Chain A
Amino acid sequence: MRALVVEDEVTLANNIAQALREGAGFAVDISNDGLEGLHFATTNPYDLVVLDLMLPGMNGMDILKNIRDKGIKTAVLIMTARDTSEDIINGLNVGADDYLTKPFDVGEFIARCKALVRRSYSEPSPEITISGIRINTLKKQVFVSDKPVTLTALEYKTLEYFFMRCNEIVTKTDLLEHLYDQDWDRDSNVIEVHISSLRKKLDPNKTLNPIKTMRGYGYIIER
């Protein structure tokens, strides 16, 4: 999952990014300016945008309007330091999916972000089971036929992303964009390596074949 954090307070933006990386395993981009934030949000496919309302360049509410006007359906969580319900109501009406008032609890923030992403992929439950493979998105555990399987962080992220988009073709570009921070080297064949080791761990006997390769397009997990 990849998230964008638009927040002008540098320290706070870094903290939020770190919380999302460590607590939710998201890839995170940061922007400290409203206009730059809008540019990022409209040019990259994010699973979540965390948006402060008081921003230099362009305020959060205008960014949100712009994003929604362009038909981008990414989940947006707005953060505001004002606790007047006016801001919150406006934000939700313009198209935000959730809000938090500063100062917020980091644990609650992570949980809300995860819930937003799950919901945006129509997966309201933190536990998802597809063809005998069960993942718990809260504990980041994977079970095959009820036996626990140990995955690396990146392998888990890849699998979770496949689960969120089950029955859809996931391209290599999708995986790169949603799993890695912006400054990752995209030319490496790291994706193929991960998919191959994931297949070995999930299906050592090659009976289930959960991740199918669609030649020329990408990969697919079918329910």
Chain B
Amino acid sequence: MSSLSIKKRVGINVTIVIFVVISIISILAYTEFKEALERNLDYRLRSDAMSAYILLNSAHDDKLIKEHISLLLSPKTDYHLRGYAVWFDQEKTALINSDTFKEIKTILDEHDTPAPETGKFNFTNITYKGKPCRVIWVSLKNKAANFPDKKSVNILVAISSRHAWGEITSFMNVLLLVGAISIWASVGLIMWILRWALRPIDDMAKKMNIISLPNVSSHELNIDETVLELQPFATAWDSMLNRLDKAIQQEKRFTADASHELRTPLAVMKSTLQVAKLKDRDADYYRQAIDESLTSMQRMETLIDQLLELARCQEQSLQPSKDEVNIAEILSDIAEQHKNNATQKQQNIEVDSCDTMIRCNKSQLSRAISNILANAIKYGPSNSKISVIATINDNNLLIKVHDCGGKIAAEEIEFLFERFYRGDKVRTSSSGGVGLGLSLAKEIVNSHRGEIIVESNAKAGTVFTISLPIN
């Protein structure tokens, strides 16, 4: 059913319903019509029989009785067959009978039609010479003055019901024709109505069809112009387009940024080497050019590593974290890793951690904390203390990295986690950062359903707080 169109589904269902309704009406009409015709036949048969009975009772002359009854029951033009007989009691020979009587009586006997009780009518359908006939057989108390010794009188009248059946057949034909026409017409009407009703969907599909990738959001459906039933769909579609647009813009910006960040060290390297080649230089100059090129290369390498890490992290954020690890262990490991860098700047890393087990992706979380700590070492002043503290607060694990660096401007904090963002002050310095560390940290913490908060002031320095839900 799933591949059937709405038009077909509704069309088929409605057609079936109409067909069933017309069939039921036809059957009812047919039954009613047939019964009406039979009642009509029965009425005539009964009145014929009763007339014959009255004649039998009223006359005194045998001959006259026979003549009158024969005349009454003789075939008329509209009935092709008319058999009749009148006999007393269980007599084998009839007082009056038509030529067909004997045969009809035989057929009745063959059908085991029981003789009616006195005063009762008995109607039967029989087939005589291949033609349908209706027969009345009535047994009445004998009141004829001419035959005083007889107890009862039997009257049998048979008429062809072919004519009635013909009427029924032609009525059925009309019924079938009307039914067929009405089904055909209603299917057509339904299809037309459906096409009209479904036109908004077609229109919408046309609008959706012309969407091209670069500027997705310019193809929003106008909700006000959309029919009521399709409005939730249009809203969902528009919001999907918006999300898609955002993602595309983000991706575009990221690609542009990434290429920018890769091109700059490449430009440094190329220009260094080409300027060195402009004329003959001494060995010291070449050595310096090589060193500068290597530094640029190192920067590109770091950048590529971090880009890959970021891509991998986004991929993994879809998977649940599995490791159950002790936060104190993670922190002391990270502090150990950064010890050398800190010592170079005469900085001292102090770790103070609670003993809490946390479910997380260990390597990713380590990377996030490590990036923040590396940042603190890089931008914190020489000869200072950096503290890493883990505490528990309301089902949240708080990891604070505190350095005594200068104040980060409020407007800079906003952009701190943006990819490739480096504060103005550090851009030109040879810090070696590529501007992805914090953005990566944020990505990881977010994938653990946590958040990072930055507080900075001139006196106390800067605190990065990672807040992670324990459960």
Contact = CB atoms under 8 A, between A and B. Distances in A.
Nearest to A10: B428
Contacts of B424: 56-57
A54 interface: yes
Given A11-B292, A32-B428, A103 B256 contact: no
Contact of B275 (A8, A22, A54, A57): A22
Contact of A9 (B268, B274, B278): B268
Interface string B288-300: 0000100110000
A83 B268 contact: no
Nearest to B296: A11
B263 A103 contact: yes
B124 interface: no
B275 A12 contact: no
B428 A15 contact: no
B271 interface: yes
Interface of A is mostly: loop
A106 B274 contact: yes
Nearest to A106: B274
B287 interface: no
A15 B278 contact: no
B428 A103 contact: no
Interface string A177-196: 00000000000000000000
Contacts of B261: 81
Contact of A16 (B271, B278, B430): B271
A103 B275 CA distance: 13
Contacts of A32: 428
A18 interface: yes
Interface of B is mostly: helix
Nearest to A20: B275
A101 B295 CA distance: 21
A217 to B, nearest CB: 38
A8 to B, nearest CB: 5
A15 B274 CA distance: 9
A33 interface: yes
A197 B270 CA distance: 39
B260 interface: yes
Interface in A7-38: 8-12, 15-16, 18-19, 22-23, 32-33
Given A12-B264, A81-B264, A103 B279 contact: no
Interface string B235-270: 000000000000000000000100111011011111
B278 to A, nearest CB: 5
A22 B264 contact: no
A121 interface: no
A33 B427 CA distance: 10
B272 interface: yes
A102 B274 contact: no
Contacts of A102: 263-264, 266-267
Contacts of A22: 275, 278-279
Given A10-B428, A57-B424, A103 B260 contact: no
A104 B259 CA distance: 14
Contacts of B279: 22
Contact of B256 (A9, A19, A82, A105): A82
A82 B428 contact: no
Given A57-B424, A81-B260, A103 B266 contact: yes
A84 interface: yes
B275 A18 contact: yes
Interface string A71-96: 00000000001111000000000000
B226 to A, nearest CB: 34
B278 A19 contact: yes
B299 to A, nearest CB: 10
Nearest to A33: B428
B272 A54 contact: no
A59 B211 CA distance: 35
Interface of A: 8-12, 15-16, 18-19, 22-23, 32-33, 54, 56-57, 81-84, 101-107
14 contacts: A11-B268, A18-B275, A18-B278, A23-B278, A32-B428, A33-B428, A81-B260, A81-B267, A103-B267, A103-B270, A103-B271, A106-B271, A106-B278, A107-B274
Given A15-B268, A18-B275, 9 more contacts: A9-B267, A12-B268, A16-B271, A19-B271, A19-B274, A57-B424, A81-B261, A84-B256, A106-B270
